[in-house]
Amino acid sequence: MYHDEVERSRLDEKNVKLLSAFDFRDGFVTVSITSVDRVGTPAYCHYFDKSHRPIPDASRPISFYTDTTARCPIHGNSDARFIALSYSFRKSPQLVPILIRRRQFYEKMHNLTVCVEFEPQPNWLEISAFIEYHRSLGFSFFHFTTVDLDAYNRRMFDDYIRLGIVKLTSLRSSNPSPNDFKTIQRSNCLLHARLDSRLVTFLRIDERVSDIPFFNKKLWEENVSDTRIVTNAIKWESSLEKYSNESAFRETLRSFSYKKHVQFRKVIEPERIQTMDQISEDFVYKKASTHSASIPESVFSSVISRVKYNYDTRPIYCDEFDITVLSWCPVNLYHCRFRDEEDKKIIMEKREEARKVRYKQETIRW
């Protein structure tokens, strides 16, 4: 009995880990969480001002709206800038509030957001191949949700984030089941799209769009809601954990094949999706065989360009610099590598001699 009470007390003090929070001007703050809870699970919303200070008498009891989202009533105090959730009315010192996002512009920034579904740890080559293929078809913005993303794969994401092509939400220290992670990906991306995008669609990272009728129209003028795009799934024969050389990379990139089936994906306005059940997947199976596919040369060159930009690197050795450069720009020593201790000793001696010569020249000049 005592053990049950202790466990219940710990649960009450447990904070709800949040992914994002949005104010859609509908009287509520819609919050996305990092786990899957039962619909109707009781919780409490806590509001904070711009300095992360709790707003007095502002906590409100709620129930989870869906498995992964909660809706907190907008507090009358306009100073509320951050929000946190807990299973207890008591404000724990461990509460970590997150920013309430609001639309920054009158018009939405993107015509179409592609919500990408994949395993918790994506591969850098799959990421680039997927994005570059669909960029060649006119898709321009992608949203990814990852768990415990490592630094090597993060490098590829950072490159696309810098280009304004990708928005990334990364979870830490979370081990959701595959089905739960799929739900978290969809709900989180849907909320982001509802804030900044006119239309949204959901694609797996192993899918390739083969027919997009709505792009034959003007996306920003025509009503393309409820259009279905046709996709094919691909199968990789092998994969690379890290980039080693261009020949191995080219061989891997050419080793995938298409599965003989067709997938219909819906393109819809994000405001019209109220539950995850509305994201339908109409599956039509044709044949069990596979066939090799040729990558368009433009896509192939784009993938190579991005991969080499991010991963085709080698150490720069100090003996490759002219010694006079090292004499007047010592910071270069922190950006180059010595081959061994003997090499370091020789270069440092030459650098010191070059600095003395340079000092004498400047003294004579003055």
SS3 labels along the chain: CHHHHHHHHHHHHCEECEEEEEECCCCEEEEEECCCCCCCCEEEEEEECCCCCECCCCCEEEEECCCCEEEEECCCCCCCCEEEEECCCCCCCCCCCEEEECCCCCCCCEEEEEEEECCCCCCHHHHHHHHHHHHCCCCCCEEEEEECCCHHHHHHHHHHHHCCCEEEEEECCCCCCHHHHHHHHHHHHHHHHHHHEEEEEEEECCEEEEECHHHHCCCCCCCCCCEEEEEEEEEECCCCCCCCCHHHHHHHHCCEEEEEEEEEEEEECHHHCCCHHHCCEEEEEEEEEEEECCCCHHHHHHHHHHHHHHHCCCCCEHHHCCHHHHHHCHHHHHCCECCCHHHHHHHHHHHHHHHHHHHHHHHHHC
- Closest to 117 (Cα-Cα) out of 128, 132, 127, 129: 127
Task: Let me know how long the chain is.
Answer: 366
Q: Using one digit for the tens of pLDDT, what is the confidence trace for 76-130?
A: 666 788 988 888 776 565 778 888 888 766 667 888 899 998 877 778 888 998 9
Contacts of 13 (CB under 8 A, 6+ apart): 86, 87, 88, 90, 92, 94
Supply the mean pLDDT for the chain. Answer: 76
What pLDDT is attached to residue 287? Answer: 44
What pLDDT is attached to residue 18? Answer: 84
SS3 labels along 317-333: EHHHCCHHHHHHCHHHH
Quote the pTM value. Answer: 0.74
Contact in structure between 12 and 87 (CB atoms under 8 Å): yes
Give me Rg for the CA atoms of the chain.
27
Instruction: Report, as ranges of residue numbers, the positions in the chain whose pLDDT lies below 50.
Output: 1-13, 216, 218, 220, 283-289, 331
What pLDDT is attached to residue 114? Answer: 92
What pLDDT is attached to residue 289? Answer: 47
Q: Using one digit for the tens of pLDDT, what is the confidence trace for 242-253?
A: 888 888 888 887
- The domains located in the chain, with CATH, are 12-101 (2.60.40), 110-311 (no CATH), 318-365 (no CATH)
The Cα–Cα gap between 219 and 221 comes to: 6
Contact in structure between 277 and 102 (CB atoms under 8 Å): no
What pLDDT is attached to residue 39? Answer: 75
Strands 82-86, 42-48: pairing is antiparallel
Q: Using one digit for the tens of pLDDT, what is the confidence trace for 50-71?
A: 888 888 888 888 888 777 888 8
